[in-house]
Amino acid sequence: MNSVFAWAVFGYYLVFNLLLLALMGLDKLKAVKDWRRIPEKNLLILGLLAGGLGGLIGQQLFHHKTRKPVFWLVFVLAFLAHLLLWLFLIRLVGR
């Protein structure tokens, strides 16, 4: 695999998962302060695009959205789907 492409993919996952982690923390702060919240669909969509790891870490770190199974399910399934996709692509390119 081209090293520039590999670094771009790594950067994509790093940026989007850090963004998701930060938004989980921000939404928790907004919940505690009773401020206007980040829509759940935005967190879920970002989790799907980012691969879910930032969301899973955010749930544990901030104790946020832990009572809503849909968040855990979406984040875990997104993580597994992205992992399987990359394993498939690596195997395909390695041929």
The string of pLDDT tens digits covering residues 59-76 is 999 999 999 999 999 999
Instruction: Supply the DSSP string of the chain, one letter for each residue.
Output: --HHHHHHHHHHHHHHHHHHHHHHHHHHHHHHHTPPPPPHHHHHHHHHHHTSHHHHHHHHHHT-STT-HHHHHHHHHHHHHHHHHHHHHHHHHT-
Instruction: Supply the DSSP string of 68-93, one letter for each residue.
Output: -HHHHHHHHHHHHHHHHHHHHHHHHH
Confidence grade of residue 48 (pLDDT, cut at 50, 70, 90): very high
How far apart are alpha carbons 62 and 44 in whole angstroms?
16
pLDDT at 2 over 80: no
Count CA within 13 A, CB hemisphere, residue 46.
Answer: 22
pLDDT at 86 over 80: yes
The better pLDDT of the pair 35, 2 is held by: 35
Model's pTM, two decimal places? 0.91
How far apart are alpha carbons 38 and 55 in whole angstroms?
14
Taking only the tens place, the pLDDT of each residue in 4-36 is 888 898 999 999 999 999 999 999 999 999 999
| pLDDT number for residue 95 | 60
